Structure 1
Amino acid sequence: MSKELLTRYFSKALLGRIAIFGSTFCFYISTVIVRWVKTEGLALESEFLVFGRFLLGFLIMAVIFLLKRELPRPRQYHFLLGRALGNTLAVFCLYKAIALTTVAQSNILNMTYPVFIAIFSWFLWRTGRSLLEVAMTFVAFAGIVLVLAPGEMSFDWNSLWGLASGITAAFAIICLKFAREQNDTETVLLVMFGVGAIFLFLGFYQKFHLPDGREFLYLFSVAGFGVAGQYLLTLGYRYVTAAEGGIISSFIIFLAAILGPFVTSDPALTLWGWAGALVIFGTDTYFIVRKSAPAQDK
C-alpha cells in the first residue's frame, strides 16, 4: 500500500472515530437535557421529547431528499417498520428511564443491547451458541443486576425502563441489518423518523401542547442533539468497522458514570454500580467484536 493510500485510509479512519465520539457526546448531552427538563419542572413529558426528536429528524431527512431531487424508494417494508418501531420504543424507554431514575443508570442499561442481540440471534438463526458465549451472557446479566440494584441490592422498578431500552434497541438493530440490504441510509432514516413521529403522535397527542419559549428551547435542544448524534454515527460508520464503532459508542457508559453527578446532580454510582458498569462494558466489547453488529441505536 502506497504512502498516499495509507494517509488517505488513516485520515478517513480518524474522521470516522471522531464522528462516532462526537455522536456519543451528542447522545449523552441529549439525555442530560432530558434530565434537566425533569429537575426544572417543565411541562414536557418524555413522550413529547421523543416526538420532537423524531419530527425534527423526519423534517431534516425530507429536506435532504428535496435538495437531492430524489424520491425515497423503500423496500423490505417489514424490516423498515420493525426498525422504526423498535428504535422509537428504545428511545421512548430510555427517556422514561432518565426521567424516573438517573442518567448514568439509564445509559448503562441502554448499552446492554449487544448482549440481547446475541441472545436473539440464538433463537432466530440457532448459531453462535458457544459455551463461552453462554458464559459471557451470564456474566453480562450479573453486571445488569449490579446496575439495577447497586445499593445494598435495593431494586427500583423504574430501572426496568432502562433495561427495556436495551432490549428494544437490540430488536431495532437486527431489523436494521436486513433493512440495509436493499435500502440506503437516507431511506432508512426517513422511514424511521417518519413512522416514529406518526406512532408517537397517534399514541400520545393528548400529552402534547404548544410550548412556551423556554420549553421550546429544551425541546429543540433534546431533538437537535439526538438527531446530530444519529447523523454523526451514520457518518462515522462509513469509515470504521462495526466492531470499532460499537466499542467507541460503548464509552458512553463511562461518560455517564463519571459526569452524571456533576451535570445532573444525580447520586454517584456506588462501588457495586461501577462494578456492574465495567462488567457490561467488557461483555459489550466481547459481543460487539464477535458479532460485529452495527451499533446504531440510542
Structure 2
Amino acid sequence: MCAGVLCLALGDAVSKWLGATYEPIQIIFFRTLISLPLIALLARFNGGWRKLKTRRPGVHLLRGMIFAGTMFCFVTGLTLLPLAEATAIAFAAPLFVTLLSGPLLKERVERLPFIASLVGFAGVLVVVRPGAAGFQWGALIVVGAAVCYALMMITARRYGGKESLWAMVFYATLVPLILSALLLPSVWKMPEGLAWLGFIGSGIFGVGAVSCITLAFRYAPAALAAPFDYTAMVWAVLLGWWLWDEVPDVWVFVGAAVIIGSGVAIALYERRVAIKARPTT
C-alpha cells in the first residue's frame, strides 16, 4: 500500500511539473495512453483476456466519464495549488463516500461514520479557508476532484461484485483516453526534451499505483490497508519542498490532521463492524 501511494505521489508531482507547460488534456492523454496497454497486460496475466469482458458497457462509460472529470479537476488543481495542499483536500474523497452512500446506494450510514465525515469536512474547510485572503479557486477544483473520485468508489462498490476488477480499471482508463484524444488537437503542444520522460513516467507511475494498491487490498482487510493511503501526505510535503520550495502553512497541517483522523476513525469502525459480522466458525 505504501509503495502504491508513493507511485501516486510521484505521478502527481510529474503531472504538476508538466502542468506548468502543457494543458491538463494533453497530460491526461499521455497518462492514459501509457497506462492502458500496461493494464491490459496485467489483466492478461491475472486471468486472461476474458477478464475484460463486460455486459454493462453503459456503467463503464459512466465511470469513465466520472474518472475523466476526476483527472481533469485534479491535474488542473495541481497547477494552481501546492502539492501538499492539493493532496490534503483530495483525502476528503472517502468522507464523501460515506456522506453519499446513503442517498446513492440506499445504505444506512451509522452515526459515528456520519459524524466523522462531518468533522473531516470541517478539516477540508480549514485547508480551503473560504473567505480567507489565501483562498484559491484551485482548492474548490480539487474538492470537485474528490467528489468525482468518491462517485468512482461508490460505483465500484455498486458494481464491483458483478464485474471483474481489471474490466473496471481498463474501461475507466479507456474512456478518458478517447475523450482526451478528441480534445487533444485544440491544446496540442509538441513535447520537448525531458517532457517525453515525464509523460511516460506519469503513465507508468499510475499503473504501478493501481497494481500495488490492488495487491494490498487482496492480501489485507480494507480497513487495515486503507489508512496507509495517508502516507501520501508525507511524500507530498517532501516532494513539494524539494521540487518547488513549497512549505505548507500550519492550517494545511491542521486540516490534514483532522481529515486523516476522520478517515482512520471510519476505517476502524468499518473494521469492527466487519469482525462482528463474521461467523463464529
User: Shorter-normalised TM-score: what interval?
Assistant: 0.7 to 0.9
- Deviation per CA, 1:272-293: give whole Å up to 9, x if none: 221101000011112233457x
1:103 pairs with 2:83: yes
**Could you give the per-residue CA deviations for residues 241-264 of structure 1, whole angstroms, max 9, x where no partner exists?**
111221111221233235422233
Matched, 1:24 2:5: yes
Listed as ranges, the matches of 1:1-298 within 5 Å are 20-38=1-19, 41-42=20-21, 44-64=22-42, 70-71=49-50, 72-149=52-129, 154-266=134-246, 268-291=247-270
Distance (Å, rounded) in 2 between the aligned partners of 1:236 and 1:145:
31
Does the C-alpha gap of structure 1 residues 134 and 205 become closer, same or farther in structure 2, counting only changes over 3 Å?
same
Q: Is contact 2:97–2:151 with CA below 8 Å preserved after alignment?
A: yes
How far does the alpha carbon of each residue in 1:164-200 deviate from its partner, in whole angstroms, 9 at most, with x for none?
A: 1111000001111233212222222221111120122
**Structure 1 residues 179, 200: closer, same or farther in 2, change over 3 A?**
farther
One-letter amino acid of the counterpart of residue 37, structure 1: L
Residue 274 of structure 1 aligns to which amino acid in structure 2?
F
Q: Match for 2:172: what amino acid?
A: M
Q: Deviations over 1:215-255 (max 9, x none)?
A: 21111122221221112112222101111221111221233
Q: CA RMSD in A?
A: 2.4
Structure 1 pair 61–291 and aligned structure 2 pair: CA distance change class (3 A) = same
**Could you say what secondary structure the match of 2:163 adopts?**
coil
Pair 151,36 (structure 1): closer, same or farther in 2 beyond 3 Å: farther
Number of matched pairs: 269
Secondary structure in structure 1 of the residue aligned to 2:219: coil
Return the offset for 1:153: 5.7
The corresponding residue for 1:4 is: none
Contact 2:13 2:239 in 1 (8 A): no
Indicate how the Cα distance of structure 1 residues 65 and 244 shifts in structure 2: closer, same or farther if over 3 A, else same. closer
Change (3 A) 1:126 1:209: same
| Offset of residue 33 of structure 1 | 1.5
Given the superposition, is the C-alpha separation of residues 242 and 82 from structure 1 closer, same or farther in structure 2, using an over 3 Å criterion? Answer: farther
* Equivalent residue letter for 1:23: G
Q: Could you tell me the TM-score, scaled by structure 2's length?
A: 0.86
Distance (Å, rounded) in 1 between the aligned partners of 2:127 and 2:182: 34
Query: Post-superposition shift, 1:209?
Result: 4.1
CA contact 1:147–1:273 (8 Å) conserved in 2: yes
Unaligned runs of 5+ in 2: 272-281
State how far apart, in whole Å, the 2-side matches of 1:170 and 1:102 are.
22
Structure 1 residues without counterparts, runs of 5 or longer? 1-19, 293-298
Q: Is the 8 A contact 2:3 2:212 kept in 1?
A: yes
Q: Give CA deviations for 1:5-61 in whole Å, capped at 9, x if unaligned.
A: xxxxxxxxxxxxxxx1111001101111122234xx53x212211121111121223
Deviation readout 1:39-84 (Å, 9 max, x if unpaired): xx53x21221112111112122334566776343113333323332
CA 1:127 to 1:182, structure 2 compared with 1: closer, same or farther past 3 Å?
Answer: closer
